[in-house]
Amino acid sequence: MLALRAKGRGTRLTFELADLRTLRDEGLAAFRALIVRALANGAPAVTVRVSSALTRLQMLRMARELGRREVRVE
């Protein structure tokens, strides 16, 4: 979060999670909190790139639950 603040508003954040496996509830909640904090600290958008179909579905559901258009899942 310090790096986001140092760069200033407008810095897009991308997570490359090709090796990430399906998350449990605790992991999903922690990742959700990370994204919310990133958006609150000035990131205009967050992109999450995953390779697993199940993990992609989890991330899509999380983005929909957040109701934020700034969260994109690829």
Q: What is the pLDDT of residues 51-65, one digit of tens each?
A: 989 989 999 999 898
Whether the Cβ atoms of residue 21 and residue 52 lie closer than 8 Å to each other: yes
Four-point Cα dihedral 66, 16, 33, 63, nearest 10:
10
Whether the Cβ atoms of residue 44 and residue 70 lie closer than 8 Å to each other: yes
**pLDDT higher than threshold 80 for residue 27:** yes
Domain ranges of the chain: 2-73
Residue 17 has phi, psi (to 5 degrees) of -120, 50
**pLDDT higher than threshold 70 for residue 5:** no
SS3 13: strand
